Chains A and B, each alone.
Chain A
Amino acid sequence: MNAMLPVNLDRDRLRAHHRLMWRIRALEEVALRGLDEKLVLGAIHPSIGQEAVAVGVVAHLAREDLLLSTHRGHGHTLAKGASSGAMLRELLGRDGGTCGGKGGSMHIADFGVGMLGANGVVAANIVIAAGAAHAVKLRGENRVVACFFGDGAINRGPFLEGLNWAAVFGLPVLFVCEDNRYAATTRTDTMTAGPGASARARSLGVPAEEVDGNDVLAVDEVAARLVGEIRAGGGPRLLHAHTWRVTGHTGADPGAYRSEDETRRGAALCPIRRARETLAIAGLILAELDGDEAEARREMEAAYAEAQAAPFPPFAAAFSDVQDIGAPQHAAAA
């Protein structure tokens, strides 16, 4: 680790990032335990190790700004301001979950904080994000849309279509490629022609930057610049963040297709540890930093316990919110 302190380090800001990264980590570790305890029912896709990208980018979004996420979306959602209690209730499929227990991890959403949904289909959110930004522009609003996706998404058509769309219409979108080197269980570089997300963005005239996605201050700094350019009317930007997925693709995937060496080197990149070391060098007391972790774990344990106590949604939830016209008739029977 670099023992040098960044010039103009904002200790309070980094401390806040440290706390939020711990909240994301603690939420996902509780969720993984929930999977083992068969309380988290469907697949979850942890973002453990990738927290700095969510935290550094979302730090530049105001509440009225918008965010679209992926199947690996817990971090983005929490960072945007969703409640951990509602999120864990959603993961357990309970009443009072962000989506009333009807979406689960892969469709977690909180429109109240501008989080327009995680998506179970890779790259699908890219064109939807372009459309949300299109509406922002049509209505003359001053909002930025952030759209997260993984490195696997750049090989789907909606990546090309969505970036082209945002560029042609000059829309306020920050595309964020979280490049964790694996598309599900496949090494992305074995299935991707050319140098990747940022090069493809630049080929469409979308300015792009690459960043060490495990350095929260670096992400924070570059996201500040890109979001600022977007707010100034500069049109879309792409941030290509290199990171590392500590877990397998899903909570149930041990990730055994990765070499021990790769796994060890990846784990050493831990963004939380790096933030902690920087804060320690900057004079923070380690016990205080440990307190950030303990507080995050307390919050998530309490949310997990509360979620377990919450009821499942009623039978009739299966038939509500399908459609107004021609809604399911079974609703009446419920």
Chain B
Amino acid sequence: MSELTYLEAGRLALAEEMRRDPLVWVVGEDLGRGGVFGQYRGLAAEFGPDRISDAPISEAAILGAAVGAAMMGTRPVVEMRFSDFALCAMDELVNQAAKARFMFGGQTRVPLVVREPIGMWRSSAAQHSQSLEAWYAHVPGLVVACPATPACNKGLLKAAIRCDDPVVYMEHKGLWPMEGEVPDDPDFTVPFGEARLVAEGGEATIVAWSAAVHVAADAAQTLAADGIWVDLIDLRTLWPWDESTVRRSVRKTGRLLVAHEAVTVAGFGAEIVATIAEAEAASLRAPPRRLGSPRAPVAYAPTAEAALHVTAEMIAGAVREMVQGAPR
């Protein structure tokens, strides 16, 4: 084990996979200088400018070229800088990367990883703060990963690079400096669709991913101090998502709360709550709930930005209401 930040863990994962497989290469804006957050610092020196490739500010070409290069058997990792900018390349991702294997009848694969940093971070305002993971979960053909810890960022990124499907890889900008124990094993990977149990308890199930996992962990501590013990599940990947772990937990607790940073309306929490309402109705002791952002763009001013945050207090309060049957 090594103590690494979330950012360093991602960089190490990439370096290890590039050493392991000469077909892995990375392309995106400013990578030669380490990338906008420093996630690529030092890699150009080791791997050279062809494999840590700069790109023009041409999101459609970056992602589209990655599709073509992936169909030709290389394994591109694409940096989109901010997930918001990937919207300039939606045709390339949704119509091309996600469809090519299917519509060409299995003649090709598109083994690319598109890194799309998400989330609210230091007054980044409306166009640099979004969490649009639910969009991608809706698209057949894509895999969607949202790591919450340094270890997960290493293991999941390595799994994404080794995977033959196009993977939308969403790191949270607020987690870059987070430190944690990371396995040194160069073959350590995190499997897709396997959630991580962060805390264990019998009274309620909280499901979260990405930075919301840490907010929910704070809430779980508060609740534990009050004698309310919860299962906290870090989903880690949204497609596929670990339905069986969530169902097993809900069968035990009878209560489900999904907390995410994204807008609540049509967020992925809706999918989880609906699935559990359909599949586990008999187990439920309280109506399942969602907590997310109001349906508003993210503001620059910290006061207004904070108005969209799902807080530990909100999560703990919601769980208390569900457990104690308090009026909603």
Task: Decide: B64 and A130 in contact? CB cutoff 8 A.
Answer: yes
Task: Decide: B68 and A129 in contact? CB cutoff 8 A.
Answer: yes
Instruction: Choose, from A17-25, A92-100, A226-234, the stretch at the interface.
Output: A92-100
- Residues of chain B contacted by A127 (CB below 8 angstroms): 60-61, 63-65, 67-68, 92
Interface status of B72 (Cβ within 8 A of chain A): yes
Interface status of A324 (Cβ within 8 A of chain B): yes
Interface status of B140 (Cβ within 8 A of chain A): yes
Instruction: Choose, from A161-169, A238-246, A282-290, the stretch at the interface.
Output: A161-169
Instruction: Choose, from A103-111, A190-198, A213-221, the stretch at the interface.
Output: A103-111
Contact with B along A312-327 (1 / 0, CB 8 A): 0000000011111110
- Residues of chain A contacted by B95 (CB below 8 angstroms): 120-121, 124
Kindly identify, within residues 62 to 120 of chain A, every residue whose CB is under 8 Å from any CB belonging to chain B: 66, 68, 97-103, 107, 109-112, 116-117, 119-120
Contact with B along A130-168 (1 / 0, CB 8 A): 111111101100000000000000000110011011001
Contact among B70, B74, B163 for A324, CB-based, below 8 A: B163
Task: Decide: A138 and B69 in contact? CB cutoff 8 A.
Answer: yes
Whole-angstrom CA separation of A136 from B74 in the bound complex: 9
Contact among A109, A136, A157 for B104, CB-based, below 8 A: A109
Instruction: Choose, from B105-113, B169-177, B227-235, B283-291, the stretch at the interface.
Output: B105-113
Task: Decide: A100 and B141 in contact? CB cutoff 8 A.
Answer: no
- Residues of chain B contacted by A133 (CB below 8 angstroms): 68
Whole-angstrom CA separation of A72 from B91 in the bound complex: 19
Smallest distance from the beta carbon of B167 to chain A beta carbons, Å? 8
Whole-angstrom CA separation of A131 from B65 in the bound complex: 3
Kindly identify, within residues 236 to 264 of chain B, every residue whose CB is under 8 Å from any CB belonging to chain A: 239-240
Task: Decide: A323 and B105 in contact? CB cutoff 8 A.
Answer: no
Whole-angstrom CA separation of A168 from B72 in the bound complex: 20
Interface status of A6 (Cβ within 8 A of chain B): no
- Residues of chain A contacted by B192 (CB below 8 angstroms): 325-326
Task: Decide: B105 and A97 in contact? CB cutoff 8 A.
Answer: yes
Interface status of A328 (Cβ within 8 A of chain B): yes
Interface status of B321 (Cβ within 8 A of chain A): no
Closest partner residue, chain A, to B64 (CB atom): A127
Task: Decide: B102 and A102 in contact? CB cutoff 8 A.
Answer: yes
Interface status of A184 (Cβ within 8 A of chain B): no
Contact among B60, B69, B96 for A134, CB-based, below 8 A: B69
Contact with A along B66-103 (1 / 0, CB 8 A): 11111111101000000000000001100110001111
10 contacting pairs across A/B (C-beta < 8 A): A109-B107, A117-B104, A129-B68, A131-B66, A131-B67, A165-B55, A165-B56, A321-B102, A324-B165, A325-B193
Instruction: List the interface of chain A (C-beta within 8 A of B).
Output: 66, 68, 97-103, 107, 109-112, 116-117, 119-121, 124, 126-136, 138-139, 157-158, 161-162, 164-165, 168, 320-326, 328
Having A109-B108, A127-B67, one finds 17 other A-B pairs with CB under 8 Å, namely A66-B72, A109-B107, A116-B71, A119-B96, A128-B71, A128-B96, A130-B68, A131-B64, A131-B66, A132-B71, A133-B68, A157-B60, A161-B61, A162-B64, A324-B163, A326-B143, A326-B240
